[in-house]
Chain A
Amino acid sequence: MTSQQVIQEMRGKFGDGLRAAEEPVPGALYLTVDKELIRPASRYLQDELGARFVISAGIDRLATEGCLSVTHIFSRDKEKQFVCLRADVSENGAEVDAITPDVAAASWSEREFQDLVGVRAQGHPDPRRLVLPDDWPEGVHPLRKDFAYDTNPEPVEGAEMPFKEAPEGTSTVVVGPFYPVLEEPAQLRLFVDGERVVGCDYRGFYNHRGIEKLGDSVLTYNQIPFVAERICGICGFIHSSCYCEAAEEAAGVKAPRRARYIRSIMLEVERIHSHLLWLGIAGHILGFDTVLMQAWRIREPIMWLCEKITGSRKSYGMNLVGGVRRDIPTEIHAELLDCLATIEKESLAVADAVQGDTTLLVRLKGVGMLPEEDARSVCVVGPTARGSNVDIDARVDHPYAAYDELQTRAITNDGCDNWARVVVRLEELFESIRLVREGLKTMPDGPLMVEFADEIPAGRQGIRTVEAPRGEAIHYLVTGPNNRPDRWRVRAPTYQNLQALPLMIKDETIADVPITLGSMDPCFSCTERVETVDVRTGRQALLSKEDLIRLSQEKSER
């Protein structure tokens, strides 16, 4: 169905309720509907058009348009199109109907705009806080324009997260926030019946860094790529590329051909090192450190080459709006190809060895099941989706950089378990090596940066996606005055994948929870509070920041 047909059909269904429709570039359809229609329109997009929910963005437009707005973003993967469904609300009646009852995948997104922009999602099945800390005062919304970026509101004394009650007959096992396996903070409260997990509650965002706020109040267009890159310490290049592509789309320019090839090549190089890193960590989680040592040894040469090409082994600092800063000169091609050949040979040997290793297989096969229909309803992305036979891959569905010429395919597996996700990543590793080779061979000559005649005008929009090693990342941009965006919305792949965790660990044993979580290659971030549980009495107590400081001072006193 073409965009025109979609618009026509929605006009027929919702009449004048569909207030505006525009398609500034092919592949991005922006629709505005009355706020009463946001739920039926979302349901229509999901159920009748088969659109996949991506993310929501709450935007404070009080200064420019006198309203707050909520935009739900959907992807029609096979039509290579994003559909952005916007509804405006007034400041006094800042609430919209929640779409989560129909679109399960929107749960976190809606909780997030409740927290950050202060638009209530009415009828949300779980309206608790998601992003804001427990001691953050009510009614203070950091993404409002009247909230200065360096405001530090007075913490509310004694505030606590209302955790879910454990179901009858089960007990709670608290894992984290200092997570014992992944060295990243998140709190999982597992409800267990004996050793079997029957459900869980999640609390994360302990180290929310407010990067989106910095983007619309402090940084300028060309500073954001360097901050975007620091969203992730492993796959940062995907974020700077995705941001730059979105800004270029909003500005109406395209990076030169050679620059886009360089982006694609570096993105694949990043995938190669990230998948090898993950393979090592997966081995480590299972207590099989040989895999960790060998996978990371194989990975190291590509890190050195990245340093040689970009000037840094991580945080490449290559991207600017309009192109890239460094070339991949012909002199380095031979070295890169040699390096890839070694990695390919050694990875094949490791893949061959581990595929028959029962130590791994018994821990991975049939564990962490995520059936295809569940994967589709929670809208997981990346290898987590493809391991459940959902054939989505941003490189194929929404070609960016040079992927319109560097053709690839979505590698899927119908195992739906942890092993399937291992197999998908291993295959992708070799596919990435092939793509880098092809990219180097076909890369055209030309400039690296496009010249900007004017500044980027305010009020434009851009939405782009990049297939990160962990899945699809989205950057949505509304341009603003003062040489910076009015809103910069980022969704990292783990945001969507983590929401599937309760389904994946249900009916598993506690011992299999770490690897199941690890199988989605999650990426969360640090904290300042711990919870103690008295194992004998089951009594739980929260230690506040003050308690912790007092305890550590007492400990160090002589």
Chain B
Amino acid sequence: MIISKLKEAIICLGAGRVTLPYPFAPHPPAEGFRGKVAVDPEKCIGCGGCANVCAPRCIVVTDPSQDTRVLEFFLERCTYCARCAEVCVEEAITVTEQFETATNDTEDMHIKVEVYMGSCQRCGRCFETSTALDKLMVTGFQGAPESGE
């Protein structure tokens, strides 16, 4: 009994103080950490691939007019899986190391990207909006679930 208690005391003394001074000193995450995503509106082509793979459905695609597409990221629902960044063919979505996302204002966790869908800015040819939209509807892509409402 006494020997056990002594052994335990030695373990505790050997460990010393391990508590980190965080949040008074910064404690950056390891490289490759999956934090809050960032979106580069210049690179986005509005394909909607990110919304299609998003498990918590926090990326919402709407077409307010014929040649504009709006992608909204409601990141308060984000589960930080980084699948959107993984599937983005244009590398418009990147994963940052930001993890201190607690806020009183949900706007801080809201990203809105407007994409002009008129003509391809690279080759100048007309960009067929319907193709990208149709692609979201074919089998194999995430369709809207049947709602009871």
Contact = CB atoms under 8 A, between A and B. Distances in A.
B65 interface: no
Contacts of A353: 4, 7-8, 11
Interface string B1-43: 1011101100110010010000000000111111000000000
B149 interface: yes
Nearest to B143: A482
Contacts of B88: none
B33 A150 contact: no
Contacts of A312: 33-34, 80
Given A312-B33, A317-B82, A294 B11 contact: yes
Contacts of A168: none
A349 B15 CA distance: 12
A21 interface: no
Contacts of A147: 148
A352 B141 CA distance: 55
B83 A226 contact: yes
A317 B80 contact: yes
Interface string A272-295: 000000000000000000100110
A377 interface: no
A226 B139 CA distance: 21
A29 interface: no
A326 B149 CA distance: 40
Interface string A290-326: 1001100100100010011001100101000000011
Contacts of A223: 53-55, 142
Contacts of B8: 290, 294, 353-354, 357
A3 B10 CA distance: 57
B11 A350 contact: yes
Given A217-B145, A218-B145, A308 B30 contact: yes
A311 B32 contact: yes
A483 interface: yes
Given A150-B149, A219-B55, A358-B1, A455 B30 contact: no
A220 interface: yes
B86 interface: yes
A222 interface: yes
Contact of B12 (A294, A308, A326): A294
A230 interface: yes
Nearest to B146: A148
B106 interface: no
A352 B7 CA distance: 8
Interface SS of chain B = loop
A356 interface: yes
B109 interface: no
A357 B55 contact: no
Contact of A483 (B32, B140, B148): B140
A515 interface: no
A318 to B, nearest CB: 10
Given A219-B55, A290-B12, A151 B141 contact: no
A352 B54 CA distance: 48
Contacts of B53: 222-223
A150 B148 contact: yes
A184 to B, nearest CB: 21
Contacts of A290: 8, 12
Interface in B71-127: 79-83, 86, 95
Contacts of A54: none
Contacts of A352: 7
Interface in A176-230: 217-220, 222-224, 226-227, 230
B99 to A, nearest CB: 10
A149 interface: yes
A354 B140 CA distance: 55
Contact of B55 (A226, A326, A354, A482): A226
A317 B34 contact: yes
B34 A483 contact: no
B147 interface: yes
Contacts of B18: 297, 300
A219 B29 CA distance: 30
Contacts of A149: 145-148
A352 B4 CA distance: 8
Nearest to A355: B4
A227 B55 contact: yes
B3 A356 contact: yes
10 smallest CB-CB distances across A and B, nearest first, come from A148-B148, A353-B7, A151-B148, A223-B55, A311-B34, A308-B30, A357-B4, A356-B4, A218-B145, A317-B81
13 contacts: A148-B146, A149-B147, A150-B149, A218-B145, A226-B55, A226-B83, A300-B18, A311-B33, A349-B7, A353-B7, A354-B8, A356-B4, A483-B139
